[in-house]
Amino acid sequence: MLDAKDALSGYRYLVLAEGMFGPQTSKTANSAVRYLPGRVLAVIDSRHAGESVGDVLGFGGTIPVLATVEEGLGRGATALLIGIAPQGGQLPGSWRPMLNAAIDAGLDVVSGLHFHLSDDAELRERAAARGVRIHDLRKPPAQLPVSTGRARLVDALVVHTVGTDCNIGKMTAALQIRDALAARGTRVGFAATGQTGILIEGWGISVDAVVADFVGGAAEQLVLRAAEGNDVVLVEGQGSLVHPGYSGVTLGLLHGSMPDAMILCHQPSRQCPWNAAHRYDWMRLPSVPEMIRICESAIAPLRESRVIGIALNTWDLTDEQARDEARRLEDATGLPATDPVRFDPSPLAGAIVAAAERKRAGRAGMGG
Amino acid sequence: MLDAKDALSGYRYLVLAEGMFGPQTSKTANSAVRYLPGRVLAVIDSRHAGESVGDVLGFGGTIPVLATVEEGLGRGATALLIGIAPQGGQLPGSWRPMLNAAIDAGLDVVSGLHFHLSDDAELRERAAARGVRIHDLRKPPAQLPVSTGRARLVDALVVHTVGTDCNIGKMTAALQIRDALAARGTRVGFAATGQTGILIEGWGISVDAVVADFVGGAAEQLVLRAAEGNDVVLVEGQGSLVHPGYSGVTLGLLHGSMPDAMILCHQPSRQCPWNAAHRYDWMRLPSVPEMIRICESAIAPLRESRVIGIALNTWDLTDEQARDEARRLEDATGLPATDPVRFDPSPLAGAIVAAAERKRAGRAGMGG
């Protein structure tokens, strides 16, 4: 798997989000702002030049948004991060001059595109000539196994964030819960399954970039490693079991990671599956109770696993609407529901700690 | 997608199945024997040297099994076909001398391994020097889209063979049904989704070798092309929705191909998911009625689609046992059930023709 903890943990970034910086359209950029505090020095999007990150996202404070890479130089950045993931993952032609400018200025480059920058002869040679490194976060390991089901045997409680849709907050929920668990003293590992999670954690596998037969095997490897020395493993989810484009990745990840329990992520305002190019408006997303049934049924032939909490993404609601939605879903499902960014992840962390205790007690009981 | 109809439709093959030739362990070899009549001149497996293909498989008649590639030369073969697919898809080191011998003798090479022979410098250079071609059936197209759901809109009836397990007869069922439909005068297209189907049909995409995000998009492309000029499209299935290793491919294929109807493939003697290396004996396969529910539920959020027939793989049963199983499952499900190889695919072809008529009538009704 990709393991670049040393390099990735030290970078200070210029973040390229040209033409796409916004609350819903620049996931990697936004997560860097949220989870790498102090290490994002500027964001590049000429549409918002002169505004601050806080103006555009609602968080991130006074970090400036700039029109060009050149304006970002001389601020102490050590790497350029590609902060958006266009559908299909290719490199827009208009970005090449920006990448060249960064490389020529001596910045390393960190990319989560499906297209591997290090496979591009021009960029590779330019980087080599300037002595800078290119990190392709989405480049899969050369050899992966087919999954065997071994992930079900780890001692740690394995919790997987699933969702009613893609791009809905599964990584964010896992990271917020991780921080809440760590604050309680729980030893918690984070299994990053996408480019943004890898950027933050420093290691992982972007499972959507793996050859399809090996998605489950990749998930299994991640769980086995994240379980080492930990009481809880949080496996970042991808896509959704009902997403017409990405459902295969989601099921492979679910069956490979073999979670003891799931947290369902949901955005109350979302009606149709999301996609960068169009909205799949010929179908409707299932309700939360229906989606709980779908997730639990999908893993039932392999093992029993329950949804034990609901993480809401309420960025486009008022505080009052968000609280109402959480209450309504708690009533409808009997599970704790909260927006772990806007409010407090504690109800979800609490459900996980309780499940971990049940698993430990069950194992002790089996041994006795 | 891979399109090599001209080359693949003309080859006469030596089939390499060293150490694995048998009814359940050499799917590509066996399908070549069954569906490329007269074009398999010999099979290589030193364990069975001196026997005939009929002795080993129960079909295939007097085609000889030989100990070495060298013995197979001079019989009129124009290509070497790699007839087995070891788990993980790598090239066993012991095969290299055999491939070299075939290349040196001027045979083209056709391979369905995950490992692309044309990426191996030694083999590629040796083939180029000798002027022979290497066809990697599993090599995915360079650019694939994310699926959009468009496959649901084709006029042809789209039928997908799904299964309780992998390696259970989904391709074989589709091909037997295709022949039965063609014999009735139905214009039928076959969408090959694996290396063996591509070998037989001459075009297709090996969806398990595609980058995971694009499995659905690959399936969509296949359905759109196979629907051209046809009344029925048969989409070859892969894996199973409950297989711990391959389920992701299966769901991506289901959601990308958006079938109007499904044929469920099942082997009555199979208890646990299959795997070349081990048997996943920690889990049990669902029953046929339960698997019907799982398949219909998995696509229900995207569209309604029903299982309309059951294709049995009864190679390890007696005629009487096979008939009993078919009858028992017909009673349990109310659907036609038959072994389309051993008995007659007509009941399944009949169910498909009836569904195609219903679809046509429904469309005419909508237009009127």
Q: A281 CA to chain B: closest CA distance, Å?
A: 10
Query: Which residues does chain B have within 8 Å of residue A215's beta carbon, measured at their own beta carbons?
Result: 212, 248
Tell me the sheet residues that pair with A204: A2
B152 secondary structure, DSSP code: G
Distance CA B98, CA B119 (A): 18
Contact A244 B216 (CB under 8 A): yes
Share of residues in chain B with pLDDT > 90 (%): 88
CATH fit for domain A150-367, picks 3.40.50.300, 1.25.40.10, 3.40.190.10, 3.20.20.140: 3.40.50.300
Query: Which residues does chain A have within 8 Å of residue B298's beta carbon, measured at their own beta carbons?
Result: 241, 298
- When pLDDT is averaged across residues B222-248 and rounded to a whole number, the result is 98
Q: Could you count the other beta carbons within 10 Å of the beta carbon of residue A51? A: 15
Mutate to test the interface with B, among A119, A139, A247 (most CBs of B within 10 A): A247
Q: Which residues contact B288 (CB under 8 A, 6 or more apart)?
A: B164, B264, B266, B310, B329, B332, B333
| pLDDT tens by residue, A231-258 | 999 999 999 999 999 999 999 999 999 9
Query: Which residues does chain B have within 8 Å of residue A237's beta carbon, measured at their own beta carbons?
Result: none
Q: Do domains A9-136 and A150-367 have the same CATH topology?
A: yes
Answer yes or no: are the C-beta atoms of A177 and A352 closer than 8 Å.
Answer: yes
| pLDDT tens by residue, B96-144 | 999 999 999 999 999 988 889 999 999 999 999 999 999 999 999 988 9
Q: Which residues contact A368 (CB under 8 A, 6 or more apart)?
A: none
pLDDT at B275: 82
Q: How confident is the model at residue A175 (pLDDT cuts 50, 70, 90)?
A: very high
| pLDDT tens by residue, B151-170 | 999 999 999 999 999 999 99
| pLDDT tens by residue, B65-83 | 999 999 999 999 999 999 9
Of A212, A216, A243, the CB nearest to B244: A216
Residue of chain B whose alpha carbon sits nearest to that of A213:
B208
Burial (0-12, 13-18, 19+ Cβ within 10 Å), B37: exposed
Of A88, A149, A285, the CB nearest to B244: A149
Q: How confident is the model at residue B171 (pLDDT cuts 50, 70, 90)?
A: very high
- Provide the mean pLDDT of chain A: 94
Topology annotation, domain A9-136: Rossmann fold (3.40.50)
Give the global pTM: 0.93
Tell me which of A115 and A234 has the higher pLDDT.
A234
Q: What is the ipTM score, two decimals? A: 0.93
Topology annotation, domain B2-136: Rossmann fold (3.40.50)
Of B208, B286, B301, the CB nearest to A213: B208
SS3 labels along B121-150: HHHHHHHHHHCCCEEECCCCCCCCCCCCCH
Domain layout of chain B by residue ranges = 2-136, 150-367
Q: Outline where chain A has alpha helix (H).
A: 5-8, 27-35, 53-57, 69-72, 96-104, 121-130, 170-184, 195-201, 215-227, 247-257, 288-299, 319-333, 346-367
| pLDDT tens by residue, B120-131 | 999 999 999 999
Q: Which residues contact B151 (CB under 8 A, 6 or more apart)?
A: B158, B219, B220, B223, B224, B256, B257, B258
